[in-house]
Protein backbone atom coordinates (compact mmCIF):
# COMPACT_ATOMS: atom_id res chain seq x y z
CA UNK A 1 0.00 0.00 0.00
CA UNK A 2 1.06 3.61 -0.58
CA UNK A 3 1.10 4.54 3.10
CA UNK A 4 3.49 1.73 4.10
CA UNK A 5 7.12 2.77 4.91
CA UNK A 6 9.66 2.13 2.23
CA UNK A 7 12.55 -0.02 3.55
CA UNK A 8 15.94 1.63 3.54
CA UNK A 9 18.27 0.37 0.82
CA UNK A 10 20.98 -1.98 2.00
CA UNK A 11 24.47 -0.50 1.96
CA UNK A 12 27.33 -2.87 1.11
CA UNK A 13 29.83 -3.50 3.91
CA UNK A 14 32.70 -1.89 1.96
CA UNK A 15 30.62 1.22 1.32
CA UNK A 16 29.60 1.41 4.98
CA UNK A 17 33.23 1.31 6.05
CA UNK A 18 34.06 4.01 3.56
CA UNK A 19 31.27 6.20 4.96
CA UNK A 20 32.56 5.71 8.54
CA UNK A 21 36.36 5.80 8.24
CA UNK A 22 36.73 6.39 11.99
CA UNK A 23 35.71 2.84 12.83
CA UNK A 24 38.33 0.07 12.66
CA UNK A 25 37.99 -2.92 10.37
CA UNK A 26 36.29 -5.84 12.02
CA UNK A 27 38.79 -8.22 13.59
CA UNK A 28 41.66 -5.73 13.57
CA UNK A 29 42.84 -4.87 17.12
CA UNK A 30 42.64 -1.20 18.10
CA UNK A 31 45.59 -1.34 20.49
CA UNK A 32 48.57 -2.44 18.44
CA UNK A 33 51.15 -1.22 20.95
CA UNK A 34 51.32 -0.80 24.71
CA UNK A 35 47.82 -0.28 26.16
CA UNK A 36 48.59 2.33 28.83
CA UNK A 37 44.95 3.22 29.42
CA UNK A 38 43.92 -0.40 29.86
CA UNK A 39 46.84 -1.08 32.19
CA UNK A 40 46.04 1.97 34.33
CA UNK A 41 42.34 1.02 34.44
CA UNK A 42 43.12 -2.52 35.61
CA UNK A 43 45.58 -1.23 38.20
CA UNK A 44 43.10 1.28 39.63
CA UNK A 45 40.33 -1.32 39.66
CA UNK A 46 42.46 -3.64 41.78
CA UNK A 47 43.63 -0.84 44.10
CA UNK A 48 40.08 0.36 44.67
CA UNK A 49 38.95 -3.20 45.31
CA UNK A 50 41.23 -3.70 48.31
CA UNK A 51 41.02 -0.07 49.43
CA UNK A 52 37.25 -0.26 49.82
CA UNK A 53 37.85 -2.72 52.67
CA UNK A 54 41.04 -1.08 53.97
CA UNK A 55 40.17 -1.94 57.56
CA UNK A 56 40.60 -5.59 56.64
CA UNK A 57 43.34 -5.32 54.00
CA UNK A 58 45.64 -2.66 55.49
CA UNK A 59 44.93 -1.87 59.14
CA UNK A 60 44.10 -5.39 60.33
CA UNK A 61 47.52 -6.77 59.23
CA UNK A 62 49.19 -3.90 61.10
CA UNK A 63 47.32 -4.80 64.27
CA UNK A 64 48.11 -8.51 63.87
CA UNK A 65 51.81 -7.81 63.35
CA UNK A 66 51.88 -5.50 66.37
CA UNK A 67 50.46 -8.36 68.45
CA UNK A 68 53.30 -10.60 67.21
CA UNK A 69 55.77 -7.95 68.33
CA UNK A 70 54.15 -7.62 71.75
CA UNK A 71 54.01 -11.37 72.39
CA UNK A 72 57.56 -12.16 71.31
CA UNK A 73 59.15 -9.19 73.05
CA UNK A 74 57.35 -10.01 76.30
CA UNK A 75 58.21 -13.72 76.02
CA UNK A 76 61.80 -13.47 74.75
CA UNK A 77 62.93 -9.87 75.04
CA UNK A 78 63.12 -9.52 78.79
CA UNK A 79 66.23 -8.57 80.80
CA UNK A 80 67.55 -6.38 77.99
CA UNK A 81 68.22 -9.24 75.60
CA UNK A 82 70.12 -8.15 72.50
CA UNK A 83 70.53 -9.77 69.07
CA UNK A 84 73.09 -8.49 66.57
CA UNK A 85 73.91 -5.69 68.98
CA UNK A 86 70.37 -4.24 69.18
CA UNK A 87 67.38 -4.88 71.42
CA UNK A 88 65.30 -7.93 70.60
CA UNK A 89 62.33 -5.73 69.67
CA UNK A 90 64.42 -3.73 67.19
CA UNK A 91 65.82 -6.99 65.79
CA UNK A 92 62.48 -8.61 64.95
CA UNK A 93 60.69 -5.41 63.87
CA UNK A 94 62.10 -5.27 60.28
CA UNK A 95 61.37 -8.95 59.74
CA UNK A 96 57.78 -8.52 60.91
CA UNK A 97 57.32 -5.52 58.63
CA UNK A 98 58.44 -7.30 55.47
CA UNK A 99 56.62 -10.49 56.50
CA UNK A 100 53.39 -8.52 56.67
CA UNK A 101 54.14 -6.98 53.28
CA UNK A 102 54.79 -10.22 51.44
CA UNK A 103 51.87 -12.08 53.04
CA UNK A 104 49.44 -9.39 51.94
CA UNK A 105 50.91 -9.26 48.43
CA UNK A 106 50.19 -12.99 48.18
CA UNK A 107 46.69 -12.57 49.61
CA UNK A 108 45.87 -9.89 47.06
CA UNK A 109 46.82 -11.80 43.92
CA UNK A 110 45.77 -15.28 45.06
CA UNK A 111 42.20 -13.95 45.03
CA UNK A 112 42.11 -12.54 41.47
CA UNK A 113 41.63 -15.37 39.00
CA UNK A 114 40.33 -17.79 41.64
CA UNK A 115 37.36 -15.59 42.54
CA UNK A 116 36.72 -14.99 38.85
CA UNK A 117 36.64 -18.72 38.09
CA UNK A 118 34.33 -19.48 41.02
CA UNK A 119 31.96 -16.54 40.47
CA UNK A 120 32.02 -16.75 36.67
CA UNK A 121 33.54 -13.29 36.22
CA UNK A 122 36.90 -14.45 34.83
CA UNK A 123 35.95 -12.76 31.53
CA UNK A 124 36.53 -9.42 33.26
CA UNK A 125 40.25 -10.24 33.11
CA UNK A 126 40.40 -12.17 29.84
CA UNK A 127 38.15 -10.13 27.53
CA UNK A 128 39.65 -6.59 27.79
CA UNK A 129 42.26 -5.69 25.14
CA UNK A 130 45.21 -6.37 27.44
CA UNK A 131 48.23 -8.48 26.63
CA UNK A 132 49.49 -11.06 29.10
CA UNK A 133 52.36 -8.77 30.07
CA UNK A 134 49.98 -5.88 30.74
CA UNK A 135 47.72 -8.14 32.77
CA UNK A 136 50.67 -9.26 34.90
CA UNK A 137 51.90 -5.68 35.38
CA UNK A 138 48.50 -4.41 36.47
CA UNK A 139 47.78 -7.19 38.97
CA UNK A 140 51.28 -7.28 40.44
CA UNK A 141 51.41 -3.48 40.62
CA UNK A 142 48.22 -3.41 42.68
CA UNK A 143 49.51 -6.16 44.97
CA UNK A 144 52.80 -4.32 45.55
CA UNK A 145 50.85 -1.13 46.27
CA UNK A 146 48.91 -2.96 48.97
CA UNK A 147 52.13 -4.41 50.35
CA UNK A 148 53.75 -0.97 50.60
CA UNK A 149 50.69 0.49 52.33
CA UNK A 150 50.66 -2.41 54.80
CA UNK A 151 54.39 -1.93 55.43
CA UNK A 152 53.90 1.76 56.17
CA UNK A 153 50.99 1.01 58.50
CA UNK A 154 52.99 -1.65 60.36
CA UNK A 155 55.99 0.65 60.68
CA UNK A 156 53.83 3.45 62.10
CA UNK A 157 52.28 1.03 64.60
CA UNK A 158 55.65 -0.38 65.69
CA UNK A 159 57.14 3.04 66.34
CA UNK A 160 54.57 3.40 69.12
CA UNK A 161 55.89 0.28 70.87
CA UNK A 162 58.60 0.97 73.50
CA UNK A 163 61.97 -0.58 72.74
CA UNK A 164 61.66 -0.42 68.95
CA UNK A 165 64.20 1.90 67.33
CA UNK A 166 64.17 1.92 63.53
CA UNK A 167 66.59 3.95 61.46
CA UNK A 168 67.40 3.25 57.81
CA UNK A 169 71.08 2.37 57.41
CA UNK A 170 70.96 1.25 53.76
CA UNK A 171 67.93 2.61 51.84
CA UNK A 172 68.70 0.51 48.74
CA UNK A 173 68.30 -2.71 50.72
CA UNK A 174 65.00 -1.60 52.23
CA UNK A 175 63.62 -0.71 48.80
CA UNK A 176 65.03 -3.69 46.92
CA UNK A 177 64.14 -6.48 49.33
CA UNK A 178 60.80 -4.91 50.24
CA UNK A 179 59.73 -4.56 46.62
CA UNK A 180 61.29 -7.80 45.33
CA UNK A 181 59.81 -9.78 48.21
CA UNK A 182 56.38 -8.31 47.48
CA UNK A 183 56.74 -9.04 43.75
CA UNK A 184 57.84 -12.61 44.48
CA UNK A 185 54.78 -13.35 46.61
CA UNK A 186 52.47 -11.50 44.22
CA UNK A 187 53.64 -13.70 41.35
CA UNK A 188 53.32 -16.86 43.46
CA UNK A 189 49.81 -15.71 44.39
CA UNK A 190 48.86 -15.28 40.73
CA UNK A 191 50.23 -18.72 39.87
CA UNK A 192 48.21 -20.12 42.79
CA UNK A 193 45.02 -18.42 41.57
CA UNK A 194 45.55 -19.88 38.10
CA UNK A 195 46.08 -23.38 39.50
CA UNK A 196 43.49 -23.39 42.29
CA UNK A 197 39.91 -24.43 41.64
CA UNK A 198 38.47 -23.52 45.05
CA UNK A 199 39.41 -21.37 48.02
CA UNK A 200 40.64 -24.42 49.94
CA UNK A 201 43.46 -24.82 47.42
CA UNK A 202 44.67 -21.26 47.97
CA UNK A 203 44.38 -21.71 51.75
CA UNK A 204 46.46 -24.88 51.47
CA UNK A 205 49.31 -22.98 49.80
CA UNK A 206 49.07 -20.28 52.47
CA UNK A 207 49.05 -22.69 55.43
CA UNK A 208 51.50 -25.32 54.23
CA UNK A 209 53.93 -23.33 52.05
CA UNK A 210 53.91 -19.56 52.60
CA UNK A 211 53.46 -19.46 56.39
CA UNK A 212 56.11 -22.12 57.20
CA UNK A 213 58.65 -20.54 54.85
CA UNK A 214 58.15 -17.08 56.37
CA UNK A 215 58.16 -18.28 59.97
CA UNK A 216 61.29 -20.43 59.45
CA UNK A 217 63.28 -17.77 57.61
CA UNK A 218 64.98 -16.02 60.51
CA UNK A 219 62.24 -13.58 61.40
CA UNK A 220 62.56 -14.27 65.13
CA UNK A 221 66.11 -15.64 65.35
CA UNK A 222 69.53 -15.68 63.72
CA UNK A 223 70.29 -18.84 61.80
CA UNK A 224 73.71 -19.14 63.48
CA UNK A 225 71.80 -20.64 66.42
CA UNK A 226 70.70 -23.55 64.22
CA UNK A 227 72.52 -26.79 63.48
CA UNK A 228 74.66 -26.71 60.30
CA UNK A 229 72.15 -28.82 58.36
CA UNK A 230 69.29 -26.46 59.16
CA UNK A 231 71.48 -23.46 58.35
CA UNK A 232 72.04 -24.91 54.88
CA UNK A 233 68.28 -25.39 54.44
CA UNK A 234 67.65 -21.80 55.55
CA UNK A 235 70.11 -20.46 52.98
CA UNK A 236 68.08 -22.07 50.20
CA UNK A 237 64.87 -20.46 51.41
CA UNK A 238 64.29 -17.23 49.41
CA UNK A 239 62.27 -15.77 52.28
CA UNK A 240 65.44 -15.84 54.37
CA UNK A 241 67.17 -13.45 51.98
CA UNK A 242 64.15 -11.16 51.79
CA UNK A 243 63.85 -10.87 55.57
CA UNK A 244 67.57 -10.71 56.31
CA UNK A 245 68.22 -8.25 53.49
CA UNK A 246 65.36 -6.03 54.64
CA UNK A 247 66.74 -6.18 58.19
CA UNK A 248 70.17 -5.22 56.87
CA UNK A 249 68.63 -2.12 55.36
CA UNK A 250 67.50 -0.96 58.80
CA UNK A 251 70.18 -2.28 61.16
CA UNK A 252 73.22 -2.38 58.89
CA UNK A 253 73.80 -6.03 59.80
CA UNK A 254 72.07 -9.36 59.26
CA UNK A 255 72.56 -13.10 58.90
CA UNK A 256 73.72 -12.57 55.32
CA UNK A 257 76.51 -10.18 56.26
CA UNK A 258 77.39 -6.70 57.42
CA UNK A 259 78.50 -5.15 54.11
CA UNK A 260 76.77 -4.19 50.89
CA UNK A 261 78.79 -6.72 48.89
CA UNK A 262 77.84 -9.56 51.25
CA UNK A 263 74.14 -8.76 50.90
CA UNK A 264 74.38 -8.21 47.14
CA UNK A 265 74.47 -11.95 46.44
CA UNK A 266 71.15 -12.36 48.23
CA UNK A 267 69.72 -9.43 46.26
CA UNK A 268 70.78 -11.05 42.97
CA UNK A 269 69.32 -14.40 44.04
CA UNK A 270 65.92 -12.87 44.79
CA UNK A 271 65.97 -10.86 41.56
CA UNK A 272 66.81 -13.87 39.38
CA UNK A 273 64.14 -15.95 41.13
CA UNK A 274 61.56 -13.26 40.36
CA UNK A 275 62.52 -13.29 36.68
CA UNK A 276 62.04 -17.07 36.59
CA UNK A 277 58.68 -16.86 38.36
CA UNK A 278 57.40 -14.09 36.06
CA UNK A 279 58.47 -16.16 33.03
CA UNK A 280 56.58 -19.17 34.37
CA UNK A 281 53.48 -17.05 35.03
CA UNK A 282 53.63 -15.56 31.53
CA UNK A 283 53.80 -19.04 30.05
CA UNK A 284 50.75 -20.14 32.05
CA UNK A 285 48.69 -17.13 30.96
CA UNK A 286 49.72 -17.54 27.33
CA UNK A 287 48.72 -21.21 27.35
CA UNK A 288 45.35 -20.44 28.97
CA UNK A 289 45.79 -23.37 31.36
CA UNK A 290 42.73 -23.63 33.65
CA UNK A 291 41.56 -20.22 32.46
CA UNK A 292 40.33 -20.64 28.89
CA UNK A 293 39.59 -24.35 28.83
For residue 25, the model assigns a pLDDT of 64
Among 209, 208, 54, residue whose Cα is nearest residue 146: 54
pLDDT tens digits for 140-163? 999 999 999 999 999 999 888 887
Indicate if the pLDDT at residue 7 is higher than 80: no
For residue 46, the model assigns a pLDDT of 94
For residue 53, the model assigns a pLDDT of 93
Local confidence band at 76 (pLDDT 50, 70, 90 cut-offs): confident
Indicate if the pLDDT at residue 186 is higher than 90: yes
Indicate if the pLDDT at residue 14 is higher than 70: no
> Which of the residue ranges 26-35, 254-263, 272-281 would you say has the lowest mean pLDDT?
26-35
For residue 93, the model assigns a pLDDT of 92
130 vs 80, which has greater pLDDT?
130
35 vs 149, which has greater pLDDT?
149
Amino acid sequence: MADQPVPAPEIPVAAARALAPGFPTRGVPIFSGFNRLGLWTLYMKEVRRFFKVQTQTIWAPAMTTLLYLMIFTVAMGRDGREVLGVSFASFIAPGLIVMGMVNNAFANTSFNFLAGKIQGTIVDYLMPPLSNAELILGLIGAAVTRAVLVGLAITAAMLLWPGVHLSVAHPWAVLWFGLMGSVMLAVIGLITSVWAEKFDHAAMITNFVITPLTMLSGTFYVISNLAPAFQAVSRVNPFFYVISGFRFGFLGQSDIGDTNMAVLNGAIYVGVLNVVLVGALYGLLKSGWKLKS
